[in-house]
Structure 1
Amino acid sequence: MDTSANLTLVWPWAFVLLLLPWLLGYLARCLGWGTATQAALKLPVHQVSQQKNSWLARFKSGINPWFWVWCLLVLAAMRPEFQQPEIEIQQQRRELMLVVDVSGSMQEIMDGRTRLDHVKEVVESFVRVRSQDLIGLVVFGGQAYLYVPKTLDHQLLVQQLNAMRPGMAGPGTAIGDAVGIGLQAVGRAQGEPAILLLTDGANNAGALSPNEALGMAAQAEIRTHLIVVSLSPEPDMAAAIETTGGKVFSAFNRRELDGVYQQLDDLEPATVTERFSPATPLHPGLLLAALVLAAWRLRRSWWRSAYV
């Protein structure tokens, strides 16, 4: 992030306008316009002397104030701005809780590797592209645990994700308890919360049923998405998922699992941080200075003509 302040020109190419009076004077001489015409043409520069004065003599004689008026107008046209240090504005942060089944059945083979191995790789890719999201991890088998609290330290999250092993949370599949723990972990979310529940079996353990836990999610307005691996979702559970505003997906191979997380990436867009540099325009002051100088010059000319 740029923390420096600097002066910039929005239209620096307008500098060429500074040469316009000289160009008009040169064209006038080339076209052979008379002295009377030159006198009538009021250019914002010192009058072109017909005598061959040196540049030093011209400098000593002073420059007509109209020249400075023209310089101020050209500088204003270049749109100078004082750029303030860069500021970050973050949209509402996404807070995701990954709820992953690590029951013994996750060691079953799918496309040449265990289901859990495929899940770890796909979820890791999903996490790594969401650097501004708060993401946590719940693992469950017969019991459910908050494995990683919500964090921006995604390197730690990925390390713990890769450390998961089938059966590490005991025998059985406590889906309801896992969702309940996920709700506790995101219940006080300051951003936009969602739960991504992945399992390869039906609920057969735990104190809380899936429908009870999903009813709590719907009441708390926390979307819960269900990814079922190598199995079709139960109709009752799919209906309960939809009451939370979430979606139900099935994946029977690695390609389908990749596709599911791509869809989830669209359904739960990553946190976006916008950066911009506030700018203080300086051209109004330059225009005002040109106006004051022009008014002073006209008043001086009027005063001389009135009393001479």
Structure 2
Amino acid sequence: MLRFEHIEFLWALMLVPLFIFLFFRASRWKKKALAAFGERKVLRQVMPEVSSSKPRIKFILFICAYILLVTGLANPQIGTKMEEVKRKGADLMILLDVSNSMLAQDLAPNRLENAKRAISQLIDNLHDDRIGIIVFAGQAYVQLPVTTDYSAAKLFLNTINTSMVPTQGTAIGAAIGMGMKSFDFKDGMGKAMIIMTDGENHEDDAVSAAASAKEKDVTVHVIGLGSAEGAPVPLYKNGKVAGFHTDSTGHTVISKLNEDMCRQIASAGGGAYVRATNSNSGMNIIMDETSKIQRREYGTKSFKDFEDRFQIMLTLAFLLLVVDFLIHHRKNRRISRLKLFEVKKP
């Protein structure tokens, strides 16, 4: 397995396209400057020892040396041994509402982005717990199965939006049922669900689903997103707000947080209910509750005994720079005298 100890140094590779651009710009400027003195054939006779290919060769060597130098500073490491690491944790399944009402802006910048930011902070604070993500609106879908790959969790989290579930609605019960199917109850690990929703326009019996989950020792927590006053649901066109959702009579729809429903679900699931605000997502309170879940030891495969490989990169970079230094801009007189490609006249 390959990894970089200082991966932040790899950002310096972004300068490579800039170097290439500047080189070609300088080459064009040089050609124009020489063209002002006379024709190319005449200039070749005046400056017979000047090579047109060696500057390109030197630039290629420089670029290759630069890439190797940056890679070496990032210190590539190779894992030489894989072993089973014992961890102690629980399974956490995030159930995230992605219905259109989650675009309401009574939480900044909107309810959905506020929830995603809270989940991202949760992932940053996880150590050995496994996490999964289910998105739901009128239907529920597994976005990420339970995993300890927190980088993948963040990657999947960033792709979540309201258009990924075609059927509108708030099927919280279906999401809970999907979460129960996603858990592996044979491993004996403690399990919990964290529902993040505005609770509006629910379409199934979410309270019964939460109660069923509790019977199987799965705690259901709820974070309410929105406000009692509510806010209009914006319509977007080309990435900009182009109006607001209206009802059949043409009046603007105001989406409000259904706190009563959220409390009922949390109560039936044996969990806690917290209403998110702009200053506090409530995730810390929920995590304090999930810390009470019984953790169980489990094993994961991971590489260890990583060996540094920066020496190879830096050595190659040094050799290329030496070769670049030894190459002169002028033509090699001995090679020029050979005239390998000269056609002899009869």
Report the TM-score range of the alignment, normalised by the length of the smaller protein.
0.5 to 0.7
Cα distance, 1:158 vs. partner? 0.7
- Equivalent pairs: percent with the same residue? 26
Counterpart CA distance in 2 for 1:128 and 1:109 is 25
1:1-308 correspondence runs (5 A): 90-91=87-88, 93-170=89-166, 171-186=168-183, 188=185, 189-205=187-203, 208-231=204-227, 232-235=257-260, 238-251=263-276, 253-257=277-281, 260-269=282-291
Name the structure 1 match of 2:234. Answer: none
Give the partner amino acid of 2:93. Answer: M
1:17-74 deviation line (CA, Å, top 9, x unaligned): xxxxxxxxxxxxxxxxxxxxxxxxxxxxxxxxxxxxxxxxxxxxxxxxxxxxxxxxxx
**Cα deviation per residue 1:146-194 (whole Å; 9 max; x = unaligned)?**
1100001111111111100123213111111011111111251531100
Please state whether the residue corresponding to 1:100 is helix, strand or coil: strand
Q: Conserved in 2, the CA contact under 8 Å of 1:226 and 1:241? A: yes
Relative to structure 1, is the Cα distance of residues 125 and 237 closer, same or farther in structure 2, using a 3 angstrom cutoff?
closer
Q: Say whether the 8 Å CA contact 2:108–2:114 is kept in structure 1.
A: no
Q: CA deviation at 1:240?
A: 4.2
Question: Using a 3 Å threshold, how does the CA distance of structure 1 residues 88 and 177 change in structure 2: closer, same or farther?
Answer: closer
1:235 maps to a residue whose letter is D
For residue 256 of structure 1, give the secondary structure of its aligned residue in structure 2.
Answer: coil
Q: How far apart are 1:196 and its partner, in Å?
A: 0.2
Which is bigger in relative contact order (C-alpha 8 A, separation at least 6)?
Answer: 2
Change (3 A) 1:187 1:235: farther
Deviation at 1:108, TM superposition (A): 1.6
Q: Structure 1 residues 139, 240: closer, same or farther in 2, change over 3 A?
A: closer
1:238-261 deviations in whole A, cap 9, x for unaligned? 23422332011112x32131xx11
TM-score after normalising by structure 1: 0.54
Equivalent in the alignment of 1:9: none
Residue 211 of structure 1 contacts residue 237 of structure 1 at CA under 8 Å; is this kept in 2? no
Change over 3 Å in CA distance of 1:122–1:142 after alignment to 2: same
Task: Flag structure 2 segments of 5+ consecutive residues without an equivalent.
Answer: 1-83, 228-256, 298-346
> Which entry has the higher C-alpha Rg, 1 or 2?
1
Deviation at 1:202, TM superposition (A): 2.4
Name 2:72's counterpart in structure 1. none
RMSD: 2.5
Cα offset for 1:226? 0.7
Q: Which residue of 2 aligns with 1:69?
A: none
State the TM-score, normalizing by the size of structure 2. Answer: 0.48
> How far 1:235 moved relative to its partner?
3.3
Q: CA deviation at 1:102?
A: 0.7
Q: How many residues align structurally? A: 181
Q: Distance in 2 between matches of 1:177 and 1:184?
A: 11
Alpha-carbon shift at residue 90 of structure 1 (Å): 4.1
Unpaired runs of 5+ residues, structure 1, are 1-86, 274-308
Distance 2:120 2:274 in 1: 19
1:109–1:240 Cα change, 3 Å = closer
Cα distance change of structure 1 residues 240 and 140 upon mapping to structure 2, 3 Å threshold: closer
